[in-house]
């Protein structure tokens, strides 16, 4: 097998390598987008969230969070979003709601814990009132809320985020607690880096072979 065929075979063999989206590390300035699918039986419900790790020190981290209730509306119901939870690693040891930024000032509290069905795999929850389990208010269909929370802990240069979930109330068949899908930052994946490395080695090998043939 010549060098070109070897490079092609290696590219094919590695092209299916993927990385896990279970936990995504963020450094200061990094952001994530989370999409929450509609629950079965309530296809009009839709939501997403974006948050940015706006500052990070060895003991504190500030998150800027944007939550969008993209629901189309349900006659007789308000389709309220009442809680948003997630897991941090290293673990968060304290959390406080910090400030309202823009939109509808619905989420005004934060605490250690999680959305009820996800409590065992979450350690941060921000919510609209009472606690992460319940609230008489909420972010209703068509509304957006942007706010900041401050995490306390023992942090390094990055924090891993995972296990995102939201809680719906006041909708047909409610309440629902839905896990989200993470869209990680646009950084090279290990598979992409491997392909780049293999390609570079292949080009170097082809160049070496040409020089050898020329001699």
Which residue carries 């929450």 as its tokens?
A: 36
Kindly list the distances between the CA atom of residue 117 and the CA atoms of 111, 122, 191, 194, 210, in Å, as whole numbers in the listed order.
16, 10, 34, 38, 62
pLDDT, position 5: 33
pLDDT, position 212: 53
Q: What is the pLDDT of residues 156-195, one digit of tens each?
A: 999 999 999 999 998 887 889 999 999 875 544 454 444 4
Please count the helices (runs of H) and the strands (runs of E) in the chain.
2, 12
pLDDT, position 36: 95
| CA within 13 Å, CB half, 155 | 27
- Nearest Cα to 162, choosing from 90, 94, 100, 93? 90
State both tokens at 85: 């939870």
State both tokens at 121: 């795999």
Q: Cα separation of 191 and 73, whole Å?
A: 42
Domains and their CATH numbers in the chain:
1-19+189-215 (no CATH), 20-188 (2.60.40)
Q: Is 148:57 a contact under the CB 8 Å cutoff?
A: no
Q: Cα separation of 70 and 125, whole Å?
A: 21
Q: What is the pLDDT of residues 13-60, one digit of tens each?
A: 332 222 234 799 999 999 999 999 998 888 999 999 999 999 999 999
pLDDT, position 143: 96
What single-letter DSSP state applies at residue 112? S
154 band by pLDDT with thresholds 50, 70 and 90? very high
pLDDT, position 57: 98
Q: What is the pLDDT of residues 70-95, one digit of tens each?
A: 998 788 888 999 999 999 999 999 99
């Amino acid at each position: 097998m010549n060098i070109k065929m070897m490079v092609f075979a290696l590219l094919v063999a590695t092209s299916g390598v993927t990385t896990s989206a279970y936990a995504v590390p963020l450094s200061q300035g990094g952001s994530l987008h989370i999409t929450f699918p509609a629950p079965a039986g309530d296809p009009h419900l839709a939501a997403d969230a974006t948050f940015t790790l706006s500052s990070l020190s060895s003991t504190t981290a500030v998150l800027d969070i944007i939550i969008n209730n993209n629901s189309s509306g349900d006659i007789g119901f308000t389709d309220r979003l009442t809680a948003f939870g997630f897991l941090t690693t290293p673990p968060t040891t304290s959390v406080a709601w910090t400030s309202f930024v823009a939109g509808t000032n619905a989420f005004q509290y934060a605490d250690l814990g999680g959305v009820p069905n996800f409590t065992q795999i979450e350690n941060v929850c921000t919510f609209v009132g009472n606690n992460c389990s319940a609230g008489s208010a909420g972010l209703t269909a068509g509304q957006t809320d942007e706010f900041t929370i401050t995490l306390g802990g023992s942090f390094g240069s990055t924090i891993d985020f995972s296990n995102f979930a939201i809680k719906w109330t006041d909708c047909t068949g409610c309440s629902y607690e839905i896990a989200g899908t993470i869209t990680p930052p646009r950084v090279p994946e290990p598979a992409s880096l491997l392909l780049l490395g293999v390609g570079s080695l292949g080009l170097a090998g082809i160049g070496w072979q040409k020089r050898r043939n020329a001699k």
